[in-house]
Every structure is written in C-alpha cells, then in structure tokens.
Amino acid sequence: MILEGHPIVPVVVVDDAAQVAGLVDALAAGGIRCAEITLRTPAAVAALRIAGAVGGFVAGAGTVLTADDVDRVVDAGARFVVSPGLDDDVVARCRHHGVDVVPGVATATEVQRALRLGLDRLKFFPAAQLGALAAIEALSGPFPGVRFLPSGGVSPENAAAYIASPSVFAVSGSWMATRAMIRDGDVATIERVSREAVALVTP
Ligand SMILES: O=C[C@H](O)COP(=O)(O)O
Ligand SMILES: CC(=O)C(=O)O
C-alpha cells in the first residue's frame, strides 16, 4: 500500500493549479510527502498532474466517485485513490489500473462489503460525526484485521489519539492546508502547521 509510512494524508481543495507547486513544497518542507487532491474543483486534475510529477511526493486523488474519474486521475498520475464511500465500479477500475484504493465506509455493513472486495485499509468518513475513535475501536472488535484512515474533524486536538490506535493506519484532514491557505498562497502557515502535525503523530 503506497500510503505505508505516511501517517498524515492532507485532503486538499485546489482552486488554481498554479498554487500546487507551492503547496507541495510547503507540505514537504513540513515533513508531509503525500496529499489527496480532491476532485471538487475544475483545477483538480491539472493540479494532480503537477503534484504527481514531483519526485519523492505521493500524489493521490480524492472525491473519486466513478470509474471515469478513476481513468482521469490515473492518467494524471494519481498513485492512490480515495472515495467518500464504497463503490464497486471505482474499486474495480482501480484494480484494473493497479492503483491503491481507499474507499470510505461508515457502517459495519460497508466494512463487510469492503472485505468481500478484498480491501482492509478503509477510510472512516465522516469520522467525527460517526463517533470518532470510539466508533473505530468498536468496529475493530468484529474486524480486527481492518485498519482505518479517519477523515472529517481530525485536528491537532485529536490526531495523536487517533494515530495511537492500532486500528488506525493514518489520519487525514484539511487542517494543515485549508482551501483558504492554499488560495492565499500562505505557504509559511502550511509548512508550520504541517511540521506541528508531524510532531503530533510521531512517537
Ligand atoms: O475528506 C474529508 C474532508 O474533506 C476532510 O475533512 P476536514 O475538513 O474535517 O479535515
Ligand atoms: C471525503 C472523501 O473521502 C473524499 O472526498 O474523497
């Protein structure tokens, strides 16, 4: 799994692809060498193409909802694919391309469906609203082999507790590179908050 060794996965919304080089540099300077670029803006695919070409940086795509989306992001260089939910067609197309996929789950039923598809690294979204770490730990009872990527409401206040759980393989969120920070080119803040985030999750 390409995200092994990446305990923090920034979820980013990029409005202008020209902002992505500065974003990637700032994240990397802060010690974060991956990002999930969400397909929530028209600039996302171009941004992915730029981030994907940066050596030593693992660029992935988020908000991937259809098999066509998978084709577009893989063509742009995505090394992993994240979805808010679990879609069999998205999973199948990622397999076809040999790209890691981390679909979102919110219930035990969805975890079972993911396991049936052969997946045991799953996004838990929206984590805060679903019960946060307590919900993940409850799910780990029947599903001890599953490890989660909580997303939604992960923050400096709770990131360390999440990452300390053996059922969590990484945390994801937008706090270290918010849409506004990216839009404003506030690379100093992105670098500083990224460095603080890395310190929080480093034992
Ligand atoms: O992937 C999920 C979210 O967009 C990230 O959530 P957040 O803004 O609460 O960090
Ligand atoms: C929320 C989420 O997982 C995504 O946009 O891909």
For 103-127, write each residue's pLDDT tens digit: 999 999 999 999 999 999 999 999 9
- Where do runs of H (alpha helix) occur along the chain? 20-29, 44-52, 67-75, 88-97, 108-116, 127-130, 132-140, 159-164, 179-183, 187-201
Catalytic positions, written as ranges: 36, 123
pLDDT of residue 93 exceeding 90, the answer is: yes
Q: Could you report the per-residue pLDDT of 39-58, keeping only the tens digit for each?
A: 999 999 999 999 999 999 99
Q: Is residue 201 part of a domain?
A: no
Has residue 138 been placed in a domain? yes
Q: Is the CB of 172 under 6 A from ligand 2?
A: no
Ligand 2 and 103: CB distance under 6 A: no
User: Does the beta carbon of 200 sit less than 6 angstroms from any atom of ligand 1?
Assistant: no
162 domain-assigned: yes
Residue 60 in domain? yes
The residue whose CA has the least distance to atom 2 of ligand 2 is 84
Q: Per the domain annotation, does 113 fall within a domain?
A: yes
pTM attached to this predicted model: 0.95
pLDDT digits (tens, 9 = 90+) for 161-186: 999 999 999 999 999 999 999 999 99
Mean pLDDT of 63-71: 98
- φ, ψ for residue 173 (rounded to 5)? 170, 180
Reading the block at residue 119, the tokens are 């997946």
pLDDT class for 160, splitting at 50, 70, 90?
very high
Is residue 149 within 8 A of residue 11, CB to CB? The reply is no
Share of the chain above pLDDT 70, in %: 100
ipTM over 0.85: yes
Report if residue 199 sits inside a domain.
no
Distance between CA atoms of residues 51 and 124, nearest Å: 25
165 within a domain of the structure (yes/no):
yes
Q: Quick check: is 1 in a domain? A: no
Please state, in angstroms and as integers, the Cα–Cα distance from residue 177 to each residue in 28, 90, 155, following that order. 12, 27, 12
Hey, is 140 helix, strand or coil?
helix
Question: What confidence score (pLDDT) does residue 43 get?
Answer: 97
Query: How many domains does the chain divide into?
Result: 1
Tell me the pLDDT of the chain averaged across its residues. Answer: 97
CATH code, 66:
3.20.20.70
Ligand nearest to the CA of 10: 1
Distance CA 148, CA 120 (A): 8
In the prediction, which pLDDT does 1 show?
Answer: 87
Is residue 203's pLDDT more than 80? no
What whole-number distance in Å separates Cα of residue 199 and Cα of residue 133?
20
Domain around 102: 8-192
